[in-house]
Amino acid sequence: MPKIEVISDNLGEVKDQCLAIAFFEDRLSLNKEISIFDKSINNIISNSIKSRGFKAEKDESKLCYTNNKNLSCIALLGLGKENDFSLSKLMDAIGKLSKKLRASDIKSFSLYLGSFENKSFEHSIYLEKIVKGILLALYQFTKYKTKDLEKIKSIDKISLIVDKKLLNASKKVVEESVVYSEAVNKTRDLVNTPPNIATPKYVADYALKLAKENKLKCTILDEKQIEKLGMGCLMAVAKGSANKPRIAVLEYNGNGKEKPIVLVGKGVTFDTGGYNLKPAAYLATMKDDKAGACGVISILEACAKLSLNVNVVGIAALAENMVSDKSYRPDDVLKSYSGITVEITNTDAEGRLVLADALSYSLEYKPKAVIDIATLTGASIISLGYFASPVLGNNQELLEKIKAASEKSLEKIWQFPLWEEYEDLIKSDIADIKHTHDGIDAGVIVGAIFLKHFVKDIPWAHLDIGATVWAKEEKGYIVKGATGFSVLLLLNLLRDWK
C-alpha cells in the first residue's frame, strides 16, 4: 500500500508531482489560500473555472499541467452540489481520482484537505473516508504476474495537507484508517489467492503467522482433532478432498475477563458443489467461498493493532468441497458437533454444514454474542443485488448494533425476518432437520433458519455476503475481484461495542 503522511504546509510550499484540490459545484470559488496559490501558477485554477473547463460536477476531475518547479500538475476534483454530498460519494470520487492519477503515471500526490470542508461532516469523519477511499481504490493483486511488471503502475506516497491546529488529531485518524484499509486489502489478497495455493492448511498457517506477529493466541485443529471432536458436518464436506480441513481459532483479549464476541467465518477454499456439481459458469471465482474466514482473520489482526477495548475470538472453519469416491452424498445423514442429526439434500449447500459445527464449537468460549460471516447463498443476489448483504439473527439488540456499524462503515446490509413458519421448510422425515428445502423460495432465510439451530439462545447474527464478496467491475473505490466486504462493518462494530 502507498505511504500516507499528514503535513501542514502552505499550498505554495508543496513540492510534489501533483496537488489535488476539491470543489463543490455550488461553491465554485477560491478561498484565500487557494487564490494566493493560484496566482503563483499563472491562474490555472481560476482560468479553468472561468472557461467552464471545470464545473466541479460529481466525480469530475481535470488535470492541469504547470511550469512550476515544485509541481508537475494540479488535479481539480468535483464533488457535486454540497446539499447532495455524502460520504459514499466522497469515497467514490477520491477513489476514481486516485486511479486516474495512477493511470497518468503519478507516483506521488498531495491532497488539500481544506477544500473538502462542508456543512454536513466534521473534519475527522471525511478525513477517515478519504484515506480509506484512496487505499482501497489503489489496491492491486499482482502477486502471480511474471511478465510486463514494469507496466504495472503504482502510487507510492500521498501527502494530506491539513491546518496546523488539526495536525495531531489528523495523524491519529490517518493511522487508524490505514489499519482498517490494510485489513480489507489483506482480506482481498487472501480471497484472491488461487485455490491450488490457498488450501485449508495454507489459510490456517497464514492465521498462525499473523497471530505470532500480533501476539494473538492461536489454536489450529487438524482433521484428526476435528473428527475426534465429533464435527461430522464439517468432516463430511471435507472428505472428498485431498486437502484436509482445518479450524483456526484466534483470540484477542482487550478487556480482561469480559465474555468475548465470537466471529465465525466460512472458509470453503474451493467449492465444486460436490455431487450436486455446479454449472461451469458458477465454478469460476469459487475461490471466494473462503471470504468469511479470510475476513475474520484480518479483523482479529486489526483488533490487536488498534488495541480495541473488547475481547474477540475468531473462528475460521476451513474445508474444500470436491468430488471423489469419498465425497458425501445427497440422502446422507450426518451427526453434528451439537448432536443434531442432519439430512443432506444438496451437497452444494455445504457452507451451512461447515458453519453448523463451527457455530456449535463457538459456544465453548461462552460468548456474549456470535456473528457468522459467510458466502452462504446465491439467493442473496436475487434478494438485494450486488450492493448489499442480508443480515438475520435471534437478538434484535445485536442486529441494531450491526445496523449502526453498517451506517458508519458504508457497507450496506438489510435485515431479513426469521419467522417460525420457515422452520417447516427444513423438517426431515428421517433426521432432526434437513439442511436445505425443496423449493427456491426464501433461500437466504432458510439458510439462516438452519444455522439458528446451532447457537442455542446465545445472541447471534448471520451475515450472508454471497452477493457482496466479489466485484465484477471497477466502480469508485471498488476494484474488480474480492471486495473484503464485512471487514469495515465488523471493525466498526467492535470499536464501538458497549
Catalytic residue among 246, 352, 401, 434: 352
Helix orientation angle between 87-103 and 123-137, rounded to the nearest 10 degrees: 40
Pick from 184, 8, 164, 187: which is nearest to 91 by CA?
184
Tell the burial category of 439 from Cβ atoms under 10 Å away from its Cβ (0-12, 13-18, 19+): exposed
Residue 95 CB coordination number (10 Å): 25
Active site residue 278: yes
**Which residues are bridge partners to 253 per DSSP?**
311
Catalytic residue among 55, 171, 278, 475: 278
Per-residue exposure over 268-306, b if at least 16 CB sit within 10 Å of its own CB, e if not: bbbbbbbbbeeeeeeeeebbbbbbbbbbbbbbbbbbbbb
Separation between Cα atoms, residue 410 and residue 420, nearest integer Å: 31
Length of the chain: 498
Pick from 318, 174, 320, 183: which is nearest to 239 by CA?
320
Phi/psi of residue 436, nearest 5 degrees: -140, 170
Would you list the DSSP string of 133-165? HHHHHT----TT--S-GGG-----EEEEE--GG
CB 400 within 8 A of CB 425: no
Residues with a known catalytic role: 278, 352
